[in-house]
Structure 1
Amino acid sequence: FFQPPYVRFLHALVAVLVILQILSSSAMHMVAGHFAPGPGTWLASRYHLGAGLATVLFSLLLAAATLTRHGLRHFFPYLWGDTDQLKKDVLASLRLNMVPPRPRGLAAAVQGLGLGALLLTVLSGLLWFILWRHGSDFSRAALIVHKGVAPLMAVYLIGHGGMALLHFAVWQRKTRP
């Protein structure tokens, strides 16, 4: 509700694409640098590659829109030693109080971590794809990195989605007449 419509659209689109990427990745298998035989594996692998490229594009657009609007310090205040709001939000959360989103606060810092996980995942996947298409010996290493960082995105998706639903439920309860 606090974002412009185009950012909300990009956010929702990226969330759906990430969910579909996670689901399709479990059916994707490669043998000696080629897709494993079998129609289901081949289809899942081709889908994962194509949708992955779209996910890269829309993730970069979302990151650019978000960072242009707020700047790095909004999401990563601790990198500048600016932790006052973050400390206040963490203490309030430990007292089981719902913390509203605010600049340099807990929600913004968590969103920054999600943005980092998203960019690590899509860019490592893109790097693997480029190296794989060019037959590079480094493609296997890039795939290992991609498979290593992708679970961060899955964990973030579950945590972020769960907290969003919790905040929405509390907000609904407070706004009922």
Structure 2
Amino acid sequence: MTKDGLTHLDARGNAAMVDVSEKAVTKREAVAGGRIAMSAAAFAALVDGTAPKGDVIATARIAGIMAAKRTSDLIPLCHPLPVSKAAVDFDPDPEHHAVNVTATVRTTGQTGVEMEALTAASVACLTLYDMLKAIDKTMVISDVRLLSKSGGKSGDFTRDAG
């Protein structure tokens, strides 16, 4: 950490990966969420399995899992981590023609998996968009956020429901 308390800058202000070599190895988990709202027609195609590009949920699940595993390739200065679990779940919301996405990522290591969970949720939402854009180009991705995390020096965090 620099004198200003910024962890991704060295003493001269240059970008630097945080040295985690002295941190304890602990079990870590992060859960992130996102939401995509769409037209009634796009929602029906998703739920009925009639989208032109095929199984939308299965494809988005695989994309989210792959994204969690590749986060360090996408986010500068993010540590490559041995992901021991990556799961992406989908909760359709028929009343609002939306899908809530939840990504859970685990590792045992010296740094957390918040970025991996956030990346998984984001890419799963983006994949839903890609798979349904032929039906609805006005879909809105929102509410990408960390829901909870456990392990590590900073302890546990759970987002308030409100």
Fold shared by both chains (TM-score > 0.5): no
Per chain length, whose mean CA-contact separation is higher, i.e. which structure has more relative contact order (CA < 8 Å, sep 6+)? Answer: 2
Which protein is richer in helix relative to its size?
Answer: 1
| Higher gyration radius (CA) | 1
TM-score for the superposition, normalised by structure 1: 0.26
TM-score (norm 2): 0.28
Decide which structure has greater strand share.
Answer: 2
